């Protein structure tokens, strides 16, 4: 039986163009993979299958110079490219390998081929995945693949060669082999610039030829490589942005490189707090700096849109203060730009999720301790009325929903793990009459969820009250109250029923760095979920824009979400 390895390779990766020939220690990634594959004992031939598109000429040139077999076929129809390789080289079986896996353990291929032994249509180690990303092996029977190719009809089948097998697994003899330990959270692949940095660190750590290193050896090097990757951060707007700067400074994988504010006096003060950080007055100095990997947008609300767009277009990861933007049209622009730059990640500093009291309540809801939750009340009590009369009053339109109530809306959605279906809202400007703020400083938002749960939330900008996030949760088994003076559970409706204290503290401002820290961690390791995902950001903004519409029209609005 003649068995070959087919390496699919192209330069036009959407997430990381040119990655296949990215240089590490003087060698392109593809060369590392080829060097490892030559040590397979079960393989008769190795073929690099690239496209005949001009963009892939560099791959063909490299293969010629290196002495590797190179076959060129259709760019988008990868399955046809494989089919043509099989015809030309008369292979009985083949191992599909991606060119972005430079550290692939050759012993896994030998293990897969031995298990295959002509008895299966497909042998894989990804069903389910227990090996790291970048250690995937698929051994495929040629005669079966030729029949499968004739059945393929969808573009995604032609692009993802084995997808048809997994979608119709009952039609094939498929065998999976697993690792003793689940290592699926590790990444030994190059999909992003951060992945490349990690691989560079690992390769730089080897003390003998890399082909002598097994998967277990690389896993031992992985933690130190991950810790040594540094992301350069910049912050625009040093009001609340100072908290962002401190969060980056306190993360072991970020280097606070530049901060920006138009206030020269403030920068002089900040230069004392951040002596090794570049101080700038023009935000372009951050957005146009190729050395900046992640940028926090903490400027005035009406500056967010164009700064976020420019950051995303530059391939930078974005942590935005709320609100992300000022209207749905702007959100659609951001969404479109992000889809065009899929490697640039987005989050927002929705900090109430970090509080241990709210974490406890979320856990109680999930564990059913409330019974069925049917109603929640939340009040964003601003308590800093003077802040309304500065730059916010100078905006063409200022929204108390986007500026305050958004925190309570996000909190309730996070607590319930659910998105509301519709919203009603009403507001007034009584607290700011005869001032320079001409917009509502108070709003009530009523959310209705699919299971009938109702939430009444306020953004109270003009209140005579200390700054606080007041919350009540009503369930069929218990009620929880968290206000300025106390936090407790009630398990009975009797007048003298015991108030059981909620021990978890509030506000825990020191914990709020977790939003930014989890965002950084998710950039370094895509399998890590950020505390506030980009979908979370789009969801809460969609609710807020629907609430604005409800307040301005007096109607109940069905919420339209972005995915």
103 and 85 in a common domain: yes
329 and 440 in a common domain: no
Candidate from 26-35, 102-111, 256-265, 334-343 with smallest mean pLDDT = 334-343
pLDDT of residue 256: 97
Confidence of residue 15 (pLDDT cuts 50, 70, 90): confident
Contacts of residue 323, Cβ cutoff 8 Å, sequence gap at least 6: 301, 304, 399, 402, 403, 406, 541, 544
Token pair for residue 465?
């009250």
160 and 11 in a common domain: yes
Reply yes or no on whether the pLDDT at 462 is more than 90.
yes
CA distances 289 to 239, 315, 316, 402, 524, Å, are 22, 11, 10, 30, 20
Q: Dihedral angle at the C-alpha atoms of 32, 35, 39, 44, nearest 10 degrees?
A: 120
User: Residue 498: what are its φ and ψ, rounded to 5°?
Assistant: -70, 135
In a domain, 205, yes or no: no
Reply yes or no on whether the pLDDT at 218 is more than 80.
yes
Reply yes or no on whether the pLDDT at 7 is more than 80.
yes
Q: Strand, helix or coil at 382?
A: coil
CATH for 35: 3.90.550.10
Reply yes or no on whether the pLDDT at 526 is more than 80.
no
* Single pTM value for the model: 0.75
Reply yes or no on whether the pLDDT at 227 is more than 80.
no
Pairwise CA distance, residues 110 & 40, whole Å:
6
258 and 406 in a common domain: no
In a domain, 515, yes or no: yes
Pairwise CA distance, residues 265 & 272, whole Å:
12
Q: Average pLDDT of 386-414?
A: 96
302 and 377 in a common domain: no
Last residue of a domain, one of 344, 361, 391: 344
Last residue of a domain, one of 344, 369, 399: 344
**DSSP secondary structure of 180-199:** SS--TT-B-S-SSHHHHHHH
In a domain, 208, yes or no: no
Candidate from 180-189, 223-232, 374-383, 509-518 with smallest mean pLDDT = 223-232
In a domain, 207, yes or no: no
247 and 147 in a common domain: no
Residue 538's CB is within 10 A of a number of other CB atoms, namely 20
Candidate from 150-154, 350-354, 501-505, 526-530 with smallest mean pLDDT = 526-530
Q: Average pLDDT of 43-60?
A: 98
pLDDT of residue 49: 98
Ramachandran class of 67: left when φ > 0, alpha when ψ lies in -120 to 50, beta otherwise: left
pLDDT of residue 500: 97
Where does residue 247 rank: exposed (0-12), middle (13-18), buried (19+ CB within 10 A)? buried
CATH for 244: 3.40.50.720
pLDDT of residue 14: 79
Confidence of residue 384 (pLDDT cuts 50, 70, 90): confident
Q: Output DSSP code: residue 508.
A: -
pLDDT of residue 225: 81
Helix-strand-coil split of the chain, %, nearest 5: 40, 20, 35
Percent of the chain with pLDDT over 90: 92
Token pair for residue 254?
């970020």
Q: Average pLDDT of 440-465?
A: 97
Confidence of residue 85 (pLDDT cuts 50, 70, 90): very high
How many independent structural domains does the chain possess? Answer: 3
Domain housing 97: 3-185
In a domain, 530, yes or no: yes
383 and 516 in a common domain: yes
In a domain, 7, yes or no: yes
288 and 248 in a common domain: yes
Question: What are the pLDDT digits (tens) for 290-317?
Answer: 999 999 999 999 999 999 999 999 999 9
Reply yes or no on whether the pLDDT at 51 is more than 80.
yes
274 and 157 in a common domain: no
pLDDT of residue 23: 96
Average pLDDT, the chain: 95
In a domain, 220, yes or no: no
CATH for 505: 3.30.360.10
323 and 414 in a common domain: no
Question: What are the pLDDT digits (tens) for 147-175?
Answer: 999 999 999 999 999 999 999 999 999 99
Pairwise CA distance, residues 88 & 240, whole Å:
63
Q: Average pLDDT of 319-337?
A: 98
Reply yes or no on whether the pLDDT at 449 is more than 90.
yes
Pairwise CA distance, residues 343 & 347, whole Å:
13
Q: Closest Cα partner for 134 from 175, 95, 93, 97?
A: 97
Pairwise CA distance, residues 375 & 427, whole Å:
21
Last residue of a domain, one of 299, 324, 344: 344
Q: Average pLDDT of 483-500?
A: 95
311 and 171 in a common domain: no
Question: What are the pLDDT digits (tens) for 90-139?
Answer: 999 999 999 999 999 999 999 999 999 989 999 999 999 999 999 999 99
Reply yes or no on whether the pLDDT at 10 is more than 90.
yes
Reply yes or no on whether the pLDDT at 531 is more than 90.
yes
Confidence of residue 223 (pLDDT cuts 50, 70, 90): confident
CA distances 248 to 165, 298, 316, Å, are 45, 14, 15
In a domain, 312, yes or no: yes
Question: What are the pLDDT digits (tens) for 332-361?
Answer: 999 999 999 888 999 999 999 999 999 999
418 and 390 in a common domain: yes
Half-sphere exposure at residue 127, Cβ-oriented, CA atoms within 13 angstroms: 16
Pairwise CA distance, residues 500 & 360, whole Å:
14
Provide the CA 93 distance to its chain's centre, in angstroms. 37
pLDDT of residue 286: 97
């Amino acid at each position: 039986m003649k068995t070959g390895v087919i390496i699919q390779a192209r330069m036009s990766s959407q997430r990381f163009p040119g990655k296949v020939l990215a240089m590490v220690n003087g060698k392109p990634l593809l060369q590392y993979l080829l060097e490892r594959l030559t040590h397979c004992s079960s393989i008769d031939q190795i073929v690099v299958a690239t496209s005949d598109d001009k963009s892939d000429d560099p791959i063909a040139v490299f293969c010629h110079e290196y002495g590797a077999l190179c076959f060129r076929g259709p760019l988008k129809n990868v399955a046809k490219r494989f089919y043509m390789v099989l015809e030309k080289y008369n292979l009985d079986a083949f191992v599909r390998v991606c060119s972005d896996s430079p550290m692939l353990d050759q012993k896994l291929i030998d293990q897969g081929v031995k298990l295959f032994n002509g008895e299966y249509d497909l042998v894989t180690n990804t069903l389910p995945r227990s090996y790291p990303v970048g250690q995937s092996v698929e051994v495929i029977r040629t005669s079966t693949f030729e029949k499968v190719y004739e059945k393929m009809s969808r573009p995604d089948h032609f692009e993802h060669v084995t997808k048809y097998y997994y979608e119709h697994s009952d039609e094939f003899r498929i065998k999976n082999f697993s690792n003793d330990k689940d290592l699926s959270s590790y990444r030994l692949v190059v999909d992003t610039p951060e992945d490349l940095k990690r691989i560079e660190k690992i390769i730089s750590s080897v003390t003998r030829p890399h082909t002598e290193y097994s998967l277990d050896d690389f896993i031992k090097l992985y933690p130190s490589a991950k810790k040594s990757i540094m992301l350069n951060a910049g912050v625009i707007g040093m009001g609340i942005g100072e908290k962002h700067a401190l969060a980056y400074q306190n993360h072991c994988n970020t280097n606070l490189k530049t901060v920006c504010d138009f206030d020269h006096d403030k920068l002089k003060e900040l230069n004392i707090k951040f002596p090794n950080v570049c101080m700038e007055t023009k935000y372009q100095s951050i957005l146009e700096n190729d050395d900046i990997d992640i940028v926090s947008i903490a400027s005035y609300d009406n500056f967010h849109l164009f700064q976020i767009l420019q950051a995303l277009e530059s391939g930078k990861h974005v942590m935005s203060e709320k609100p992300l933007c000022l209207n749905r049209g702007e959100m659609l622009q951001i969404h479109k730009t992000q889809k065009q730059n899929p490697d640039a990640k987005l989050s927002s500093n929705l900090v109430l999720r970090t509080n241990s009291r709210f974490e406890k309540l979320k856990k109680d809801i999930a564990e059913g301790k409330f019974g069925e939750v049917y109603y929640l009340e939340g009040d964003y009590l601003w308590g800093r009325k003077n802040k309304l009369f500065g730059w916010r009053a100078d905006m063409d339109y200022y929204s108390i929903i986007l500026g305050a109530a958004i925190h309570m809306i996000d909190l309730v959605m996070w607590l319930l793990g659910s998105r509301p279906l519709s919203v009603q809202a009403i507001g007034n400007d009584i607290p700011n009459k005869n001032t320079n703020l001409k917009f509502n400083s108070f709003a009530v938002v009523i959310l209705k969820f699919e299971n009938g749960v109702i939430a009444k939330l306020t953004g109270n900008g003009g209140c005579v009250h200390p700054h606080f996030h007041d919350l009540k949760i009503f369930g069929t088994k218990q009620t929880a109250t968290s206000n300025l003076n106390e936090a407790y559970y009630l398990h009975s409706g009797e007048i003298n029923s015991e108030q059981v204290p909620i021990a978890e503290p509030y506000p825990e401002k020191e914990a709020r760095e977790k939003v930014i820290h989890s965002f950084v961690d998710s950039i370094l390791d895509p399998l890590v979920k950020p505390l506030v995902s980009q979908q979370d950001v789009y969801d809460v903004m969609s609710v807020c824009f629907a609430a604005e519409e409800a307040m301005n029209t007096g109607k109940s609005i069905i919420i339209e979400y972005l995915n």
